Structure 1
Amino acid sequence: MSTRREQLLPEVPSLTSLYGQAVARSARLMVRRPGPIVARLPEISYRVDDVRVDRAQLAAYQHLLGEAGSDSLPAGYVHVLGFPVAMAVMAREDFPLPLMGMVHVANQVQQRHPVHAEDVLTVRAWAQNLRAHRSGTQVDLVTEVGQADGLDVLWRGVSTYLAKGKPLKGLALVEAADGGASSGAYPTDTPLPEATANWRLGASTGRRYADVSGDRNPIHLSGLSAKLFGFKRAIAHGMYTASRALAAVGPARGDAFTWEVEFRKPVYLPGQVALNLTPSDAGTTFLGWDPSTGTRHFSGAVQPLP
C-alpha cells in the first residue's frame, strides 16, 4: 500500500526554473563533500489542476512532429503537458539521483481515451521503482493525465531514467533490457529491415523541439553545452524521435493504444535516421537507426488497447 502524500501545486512548474535548480544543486555538490545518499524516493506525488492546452503551442508541435492538425492531442504532446510536473519531483532536494546528466532510456504510454484541446485537465506525477542497474541506478517517473471533473485517467506514462555511474547502496540489481517489451521486436543480431522513411536532422533539431516542448536540457541545445555532460555533440530529444515515429504510424494507432519505446544510442546532431514501420494484426513496430553505420537508436511498438 502506497504511503505517498499528494501535494497540490498552484500551476505547472517552469522547466527553465527547474533546470536552473538542478544546475545549482549540481554546483553545490561539487564544492562540498556530500553526505551519505539514502536509496529512498520522496514519498510524495505532485498534482496540478486546471491544466489547459496552449493552442499555438499545440499547432507548432503538430507541425514539427508531422501530426495532423486536429483538436485531438497527440500522445507525445500529452507527455509534454505532464513532463514539468514529473521533473519537479526529480528536482527535489530529497530526490536521491542528480537530475542533470540522467539518461532517458525507455518510455511506456497508455492512451486510454482521446484527450482533446478543449479539455480541462489534472496532472499527477510521482517517482517509483528505484533499482540498481549494471551502469548505475534506474528510476521510473509516472505521470497520469485525466479530466479535471472526473477520476478516470485518460493517459498514463512511465518514463525510465538511468543515472550512469551513480550506484546507490542497498538496491537489488535488475538485469533486464533498458527498455520495455518493445526491445524484443528488433533483436540486435538480426539484419536491419528496409527503411520506410529517412530523416535528415539539422543541428537546430534540439532547439526546435525545445521551442515546442519547453525541454531545454543543455545536452540537446548545442555542442558546447552537451560536452559539459559528456556528449561529443548535441543529441536529439528521445521523445522527439519517439513522437515522430508515432506520428508516422498515423491513424492506424486508433483512439486507445499502448506506445512503448526503448532508447538505445543517442542521435547526434546533425545526423540522419532511417525509420522502419512494420504493421501487423497486433499493431505496428518501429525501429530507427543510423543509415551510415547501422547503429540502432530506438525501437518500439504501438498496439491497440482491448
Structure 2
Amino acid sequence: MTGSALTKAGAPASYGVTELARLPRLGGLFAKGTAGSVGKRPKGAVRLPEVAYQVADVDTSGEAAHLAAYLRLLGEPASEVLPAGFLHVLAFPVATAVMVRGDFPLPLLGMVHLKNTARVLRPVRLGETLEIRAWAQDARAHRRGVQVDLVVEVLGGGELVYRGVSTYLAKGFTAPDGGAPAVDTPRTEWTAPLPTARWRLGGGTGRAYGAVSGDQNPIHTSGLGAKAFGYPRAIAHGMYTAARALAEVGPARRGERYEWTVEFFRPVLLPGTVDVAIRYAPEVVSPGSTNGGGSTSGFVYEGWRSGKDTRHFRGTVTPL
C-alpha cells in the first residue's frame, strides 16, 4: 500500500511510502536491475521518484549465523551487537529496490560508489525487531555526470537507531537544475603515512564479501565481469574495505554511538595488498556528543596500494 508521508523519517515530506511485505532478495533485484539498466540512458535532466520503501517488523532473531559469518570475515569480535557495516548490509536490499524501480532514471549497473556516511545512535542487538526505510534524494551535478544519495534509516522500538547515506555517481547523466557540473574540491598532495596494518587480499575476497552482504555485482566477483566495465580484474567492494577498517578501530574505541564515514578514490584490484593507517584524529566538536557537545577524539583511517602513493580510501570513526 502507498501512504501520504513519512512520519518519523528524514525523507522529504512530499514523498509517499510504499510498504513492502518483507526484505526483498538481492538476487532478484540484481536481475531486474541488470535488465533495466539496458534502457536507462542519458535523456535529459534526472528526476528521482518521490517515494520511500518501508519494511516493518524485520525480525533479526534469525540472523545469528549471518551475523557470525559477517563478524568473522571482517575481523569484528564475536558479539550480539550489530555493527554499522552489518546494518548497512541489512538495509541494502531496500535501497536497491528503490534503484531498480522502472521510474528510477539511473542504471544500477555502472553506478560508482563515491562515499558513505553512517550514524549508529544506539546499540542494535540481535533479536530486535526493526523497521527499515530507504529512498533516493538530492540528484546533483558532478563533473562526470550526476550524483545521488540513497538514504536508509533503521528504527527500533519506534526510535531512529541508524542512518546511512550512500552517494553514487551515474556517468553522463544531467542534474535536474541543468546547471554547470560541480567543481571538484581541490585536493592537497597526499603522501602515504606510516602504515599500522597490511591487508593481503586474495582473489576470492569479492566473492567472500558478496556471500555475507548479498552484493554479487560481477565487478567484484568475476574477472570477466570486471573487464566488461573497464577494470583489468575483479575489484574489492568499497564497503568491505571500509567495514574492515571500522573493525580494526574496534568496538571499545568507537563506543556504542558513533559516526562512520568513508570516501573512495581508486578501486582495490584483486588479488592485491593494501597498506592501512589508523590514527587519532584531531579533537573535534561533536554536535551529538553525550557530553553536551564537547570535544571528542575520533579516528582517521586511510588505505593505499602497498609500496605506492595510490590512495584507495579515507574515512573517519567518531564517537558521538
User: TM-score under structure 1 normalisation?
Assistant: 0.91
How much does 1:35 deviate?
8.9
* Kept in 2: contact 1:38–1:96 (CA 8 A): no
Which residues of 2 match residues 94-243 of structure 1 at below 5 A? 94-147=103-156, 149-150=157-158, 152-168=159-175, 170-172=177-179, 173-177=181-185, 188-243=188-243
Which residues of 2 match residues 46-65 of structure 1 at below 5 A? 46-53=53-60, 54-65=63-74
How much does 1:229 deviate?
1.9
* Kept in 1: contact 2:46–2:174 (CA 8 A): no
Deviations 1:190-225 (A, max 9, x none): 421100000000110000000111111111001101
Which residue of the partner structure matches residue 288 of structure 2?
A: none
Partner Cα distance (2:130, 2:222) in 1: 34
Which residue of the partner structure matches residue 293 of structure 2?
A: none
Which residue of the partner structure matches residue 290 of structure 2?
A: none
> After alignment, is 113-122 or 161-170 more displaced?
161-170
Which residue of the partner structure matches residue 181 of structure 1?
A: none
> After alignment, is 274-283 or 251-260 more displaced?
274-283
**What stretches of structure 1 move > 4 A for 4+ residues in a row?**
none
Partner Cα distance (1:169, 1:255) in 2: 39
* Kept in 1: contact 2:45–2:177 (CA 8 A): no
Partner Cα distance (2:177, 2:299) in 1: 39
- Identify unmatched segments of 5+ residues in structure 1: 178-183
Partner Cα distance (1:38, 1:192) in 2: 39
Deviations 1:4-31 (A, max 9, x none): 00111011111111110111113345xx
The one-letter code of the counterpart of 1:205 is T
The alignment status of 1:81 with 2:82, answered yes or no, reads no
How much does 1:264 deviate?
0.6
How much does 1:291 deviate?
1.3
Partner Cα distance (1:20, 1:51) in 2: 24
Which residue of the partner structure matches residue 5 of structure 2?
A: none
SS in 1 for 2:167: strand
The alignment status of 1:301 with 2:316, answered yes or no, reads yes
The one-letter code of the counterpart of 1:21 is K
The alignment status of 1:290 with 2:305, answered yes or no, reads yes
Partner Cα distance (1:15, 1:154) in 2: 23
Which residues of 2 match residues 238-277 of structure 1 at below 5 A? 238-250=238-250, 251-277=252-278
How much does 1:169 deviate?
6.0
- Identify unmatched segments of 5+ residues in structure 2: 1-11, 284-296
* Kept in 1: contact 2:139–2:175 (CA 8 A): no
1:27–1:40 Cα change, 3 Å: closer
Partner Cα distance (2:77, 2:210) in 1: 20
User: TM-score under structure 2 normalisation?
Assistant: 0.87
* Kept in 2: contact 1:285–1:302 (CA 8 A): yes
Aligned residues: 291
Partner Cα distance (2:81, 2:231) in 1: 36
Give the aligned CA root-mean-square deviation in angstroms. 1.7
1:39–1:166 Cα change, 3 Å: closer
Aligned-pair identity in percent equals 51
SS in 2 for 1:62: helix
* Kept in 2: contact 1:259–1:302 (CA 8 A): yes
* Kept in 2: contact 1:82–1:143 (CA 8 A): yes
Partner Cα distance (1:4, 1:110) in 2: 23
1:131–1:279 Cα change, 3 Å: same
1:130–1:112 Cα change, 3 Å: same
